[in-house]
Structure 1
């Protein structure tokens, strides 16, 4: 948790610096950033793509302002559903703070009554670069972040004697992901490129706990996104997210998705995707894939 505290302190220092620099004159957000450059909301609440964080800061506030948004995301596969909702705030285009809640449910026996909830608190700090305005340089925007996650237990499996992820082999019901993201927007080519390295113990993003009977150490997982900006309000792309394999009861697979994001205005974005999540548990060894829809509103 030391890095989490350091990031929180860095965010607080940035807020204090922004205030002392004359934030009292900023009575409302300026929405000075280009459309789509705040990204969309991931299923974990961070600004970026649907399944991986980017170095971009949520909201449309410039370095002299702030921005915020709320999101609701629904992901449905053949046998499972994931809901995510939350709020994120970007301050001075430097710091991002986010809160999210996830709810994972099943629809196929013996997991048809399954319900798992997880809370996520995130902080992200931009370290260097500007993904948009440094067009004369290959230097990307770089950010470091942390996501603290707490699993709230397992519902619907009381008949099997399972109420906690530790009973499935997880070592903990809470944990922290740390990540370093680099994002570059190439305006002449209408491309967005992102690469993220995540240090994690999370099983299925933490929905099945952290660490396990097979492994219980932090592992570096690679994530990536490529998006083509069709026009100023429409983008399409693909994403990839590597996953650890810690649990004997979970033959965890990497995530993939192909998405289209529409930005009718800076106050609203709608993202639709086809996602492939692989196996979820040995109780239902089926390649899970399906649709994803996310709505984000803010300023």
Structure 2
């Protein structure tokens, strides 16, 4: 039932993305540079680790905006690739599709592969982070990420994350984000509350032998605009600990994002991702690179 529900949502996303992209002749790219954010590692508009309340792209309320992204995260023993597409409609609704590919490159998980597909929806509920500078109210958005794990490869006798302790192969994250842009101080502040059962974002499935209930996870971002094209900041993402096999830790990063124009952005970060498995209790850290192109 869960698989059929996920497939139905994915089909709706594909149809909507195709229709909206075809209608992109109406886009005007009227938003300020960098206010569409970059592509978060699960496909939503925001920072690298956490979604923001901002709607992706540069389309205003009478227009659309869209982008594609490719992201690489490389630590001592692991590699994660992500690619996807996202569309913002009327600066109100965001739709995204993305795929993650994880590969072990050393230590206990050398040669092991994991994957997942993610379909996301975000809706702006209140506020305008750019236009309402005189209001203390931040921009507030709510979102859903439907995730389906693609199984395990390279581990003899194991083909599903449920064999590693996860309760299920698919799941849904729910989140609310609040973003405030202080133009006078060149500062962006974001807070996100996520309700999730995902293990390592879902790459190790959902729920586990330790817990199998939704938990509230806090996420936060702070970014400073050095100039119109260069943004730097830090991010934090709280993580659950559902699996006995995975001593999951919170994520952190420090990033720089360059926006040469409204069609292109490049983000570089150094990320601290904690342990991945008790079989290799090494705190994973390394670089993050993401390229986004769109309008």
TM normalised by structure 1 equals: 0.91
Task: Report the counterpart of residue 271 of structure 1 in structure 2.
Answer: 267
Q: Which structure 2 residues correspond to residues 196-207 of structure 1 after superposition, within 5 A?
A: 196-207=192-203
User: Unmatched 5+ residue regions in structure 2?
Assistant: none
Superposition pairs of residues 225-244 of structure 1, within 5 angstroms: 225-244=221-240
**CA distance in 2 between partners of 1:230 and 1:104 (Å):** 33
Question: C-alpha distance in 1, partners of 2:23/2:243?
Answer: 53
Distance across 1 between alignment mates of 2:218 and 2:290: 23
**Segments of 4+ moved more than 6 angstroms:** none
For the 8 Å contact 2:36–2:56, the answer to whether it is kept is yes
Deviations 1:254-287 (A, max 9, x none): 0000000000000000000000000000111100
**Cα distance change of structure 1 residues 28 and 135 upon mapping to structure 2, 3 Å threshold:** same
Aligned to 1:177: 173
Count of aligned positions: 282
Shift of 1:26: 7.5
Q: What is aligned with 2:118? A: 120
Counterparts of 2:81 and 2:267, CA distance in 1: 14
Deviations 1:63-95 (A, max 9, x none): 000010000000000000000000000000000
Alpha-carbon distance, 1:27 to partner = 3.0
**Deviation digits for residues 130-163 of structure 1 (CA, Å, limit 9, x no counterpart):** 0001000111000000000000100000x2x211
What TM-score do you get using the length of structure 2 for normalisation? 0.92
Match of 2:64? Answer: 66
State the shift of 1:28 in Å: 3.2
**Root-mean-square deviation over aligned CA pairs:** 2.0
**SS of residue matched to 2:201:** helix
- 2:163 alignment partner, one of 161, 164, 167: 167
What is the distance in 2 between the residues matched to 1:208 and 1:110? 15
CA distance in 2, matches of 1:48, 1:27: 25
1:30 aligns with 2:25: no
